[in-house]
Amino acid sequence: MGDFVSSAPVGLKSVAYEVSHSKSGLAGIIILASILLISMVAVFSPENIIEKWNDPQAWLDKPRLAAPEWVTIFTGQNSLKTVIIKQEDFRKDVQKVAGLNTTKIELRARITYNYDTIPTEVNLNLEIISETRSLLTVRWVRPDGSSVLLLREAVEAGQKSVFTYRDRTVFENVQAYLQKLAAPSTLSVGEVLFSSEDSLLKGTAKLLKSSDVKPSRPYELVVEGVSESKFFDVNAQLNLLGSVYGLCGTDNMRRDIFVGIVWGAPIALAFGLVAALVVTLVQAVFGAISGFYGSRVDEIIQRVTDIYLVLPFLSLLITIQFIYKTTIWTLLIAVIALSLFGGVTKSVRSMALQIREEPYIEAAKSYGASRPRILFLYILPRLLPYTFANITVSVPAYVFLEASLSILGLGDPALPTWGKIISEAFSGGAAYYGYWWWILIPSIFIVLVSTAFALLWYSLDKVLNPRLREE
């Protein structure tokens, strides 16, 4: 402890130099810089992710519970990543039927499908602009030319989403198709759509790839609308969702976990850094005042510290969160308020007691320096190395604290924090069903932040602690 009171100059420049030239310090800086960079993306992004994060409608074009894309490197499968056929990628054919006053619109999407797995979902989003009801037909054409009728019904104008795997009408139409084929009716919609008729007949669904026919041909989705309306238009978007998605996969609300990680980074860093910085500095200042002023002030500060030290910190915090369900920033204030005095106050006091007896303090007094000046210009700078080392060790502790509270369900109700992603993974049964990415990826980031600060502390310790200096 006393070892931190170095008499060498504690210029931050020289400390920074030495830390960045040690291996562990460099590693810590690199990790931190990367996380900081990620945070910058979130901080400067114009998107309102926070709102989007809590809106289930905003994530419909993402697969549910998809593993990260890079798992395909290990499985060796060419798994389907998300394929989205946008409105402008549909081929549109508009026909006016002469005399009859009807308009017929045909939309055609072509999907070259050479993946090893069938999509987990095939979703069609339709937009129908019409004065009257219109007749809508949706057909699915396989590369071998065989086709399945998915929908034929009169629909109102407006938005219409067809989750083909879960849609009742689609299901009935597919059942009718299987009956006509005389194929077993136990096959799922997805299997029916992506298998050749031969294999359906045998009752075994075998994926038909575009390249299985010569020459290679795509799958086609054909949407046909007929209406008598004076103006009539149909637009469509087709989403084929796979079992893998993005860098970090998705959760049970189809949210991209990578987005959660990126937006959670500045929150974790800000919470950890602000808490560590403010708590350590406040405690250090109180400790220095206590040691330097002595007598009555010392007595009061030390007794208050004793009280703070026996306060059940976590229990109080949990109670506060449980009752008030505060935001993370209110939580931060509560954390600071509950740690105004503590271990740092005690150790800094003992260092200040030692420093105040040094001749240069006496000399400063004889120059007429006031007590606050001596405290802030002569004593506190000497304590900075210790204080900085303490900040670096306590950052991870506060990142963990936020995560623990989130896992207990006591975190911020709105913000996507790393702890909250893990907490949702638990309630979503990720551990039970093996959605490992949902738990592992945010955990790795929490550990990464802790490791970075631990590495920094390790090298700081080597610089500031004379006994560890390797000369």
Partner 1 sequence: MSVLLSLKGLTLYYRTRRGVVKAVDGVSFDLKEGSCLSLVGESGCGKSSMAYAIMRLLPRNTHTYCGELIFDGKNLMDLTENDLRRDFWLKKMAMVFQGAMNSLNPVLNIGEQLAEPFTIHLGLDKLEALKRAAELLELVRLPNSLLDKYPHELSGGMKQRVVIATALSLRPKFLILDEPTSALDVITQANIINLLKRLQEELNLTYIFITHDLGLSSELSDYIAVMYAGKVVELGDIVSILTAPKHPYTQKLLAATPKLLEDAKLEFIPGSPPDLAYPPPGCRFHPRCPYVMDVCKVREPEPVKVSSEHYVSCLLWERV
Instruction: Provide, rounded to whole angstroms, the least separation between the CB of residue 442 and partner 1.
Output: 41
CB of 368 to partner 1, least distance (A): 5
Q: Which residues, 6 or more positions from 134, have their beta carbon under 8 angstroms from its beta carbon?
A: 128, 154, 155, 157, 225, 226, 227, 229, 232, 234
Q: Does 116 bind partner 1 (CB under 8 A)?
A: no
By CB under 8 A, residue 12 contacts partner 1? no
Distances (CA, A) of 279 to 202, 272, 302, 449, 467: 70, 11, 16, 19, 27
Secondary structure element (H or E) that encloses residue 49, with its range: helix 49-53
Residues 298-337, one symbol each (x = binds partner 1 by CB under 8 A, - = not), give: ----------------------------------------
Nearer to partner 1, 56 or 368 (CB): 368
The Cα 25–Cα 32 span in angstroms is 10
Asked if 10 touches partner 1 (CB under 8 A), the answer is yes
Nearer to partner 1, 9 or 429 (CB): 9
Q: CA-based angle 299:300:303, to the nearest 5?
A: 85
Three-state secondary-structure class, residue 412: coil
Task: Please list the residues that pair with 151 across neighbouring strands.
Answer: 138
Tell me the CA end-to-end span of the chain in Å, nearest whole number.
21
Would you count residue 365 as binding partner 1 (CB under 8 A)?
Answer: yes
- Per CB under 8 A, the list member of 360, 376, 433, 469 interacting with partner 1 is 360
Kindly give the interhelix angle for 328-337 and 257-293, rounded to the nearest 10 degrees. 20
**Cα(438)–Cα(416) distance, integer angstroms:** 13
* Smallest separation, CB 457 to partner 1 (Å): 22
Residue in 46, 76, 215, 359 binding partner 1, rule: CB under 8 A: 359
Using CB under 8 A as the binding criterion, the count of chain residues that bind partner 1 stands at 23
Number of C-alpha atoms within 13 angstroms, CB side, residue 240? 21
Does 367 contact partner 1 by CB under 8 A?
A: yes
Closest to partner 1 by CB, 361 or 448: 361
Cα 402 to its chain centre, rounded Å, is: 15
| Shortest Cβ 24–partner 1 spacing (Å) | 26
101 interacts with partner 1 by CB under 8 A: no
Is residue 373 involved in binding partner 1 (CB under 8 A)?
A: yes
Is there binding between residue 132 and partner 1 (CB under 8 A)?
no
Nearest residue to 1 (alpha-carbon basis) of 440, 370, 302, 386: 386
| Contact pick of 141, 364, 397, 408 for partner 1 (by CB under 8 A) | 364
Return the structure tokens found at 385: 């190395």
If one asks whether residue 368 binds partner 1 (CB under 8 A), the answer comes out as yes
Q: Is 152 in the site for partner 1 (CB under 8 A)?
A: no
- What is the contact mask toward partner 1 in residues 262 to 301, using x (rule: CB under 8 A)? --------------------------------x-------
227 φ, ψ (degrees, to nearest 5): -150, 155
Do strands 83-85 and 232-241 pair parallel, antiparallel, or not at all (unpaired)? antiparallel
Please identify, using beta-carbon distances, which residue of 365 and 469 lies nearer to partner 1. Answer: 365
381 binds partner 1 (CB under 8 A): yes
Q: Which segment (5-13, 104-112, 200-208, 215-223) binds partner 1 by CB under 8 A?
A: 5-13
CB of 391 to partner 1, least distance (A): 18
Task: Of 35, 110, 421, 141, give the one whose Cα is nearest residue 255.
Answer: 421
Considering the complex, state which of residue 300 and residue 377 has its C-beta at the smaller distance from partner 1.
377
Q: Which is nearer to partner 1, 217 or 382 (CB)?
A: 382
Number of other residues whose CB lies within 10 A of the CB of residue 106: 17
The Cα 265–Cα 259 span in angstroms is 10
Rg of the chain (C-alpha set): 32
Hey, is 350 helix, strand or coil?
helix
CB 294 → partner 1: shortest distance, Å? 7
In the bound state with partner 1, the residue whose beta carbon lies nearer, of 106 and 358, is 358
177 vs 378, beta carbon nearer partner 1: 378
Query: Please, which residue, 38 or 301, has the CB nearer to partner 1?
Result: 301
Residue 86 token pair: 């946008």
The DSSP-derived string for 270-308 is HHHHHHHHHHHHHHHHHHHHHHHH-HHHHHHHHHHHHHH
Does 358 bind partner 1 (CB under 8 A)? Our answer is yes
In the window 382-441, what residues touch partner 1 (CB under 8 A)?
A: 382
Between 388 and 398, CB nearer to partner 1:
388
Cβ at position 301, least distance to partner 1 in Å: 17
Q: Does 9 bind partner 1 (CB under 8 A)?
A: yes
Residue of 369, 397, 440, 444 that binds partner 1 (CB under 8 A): 369
Residues of the shown chain interacting with partner 1 in the complex, contacts defined by CB under 8 A: 7-11, 294, 358-360, 362-370, 373, 377-378, 381-382
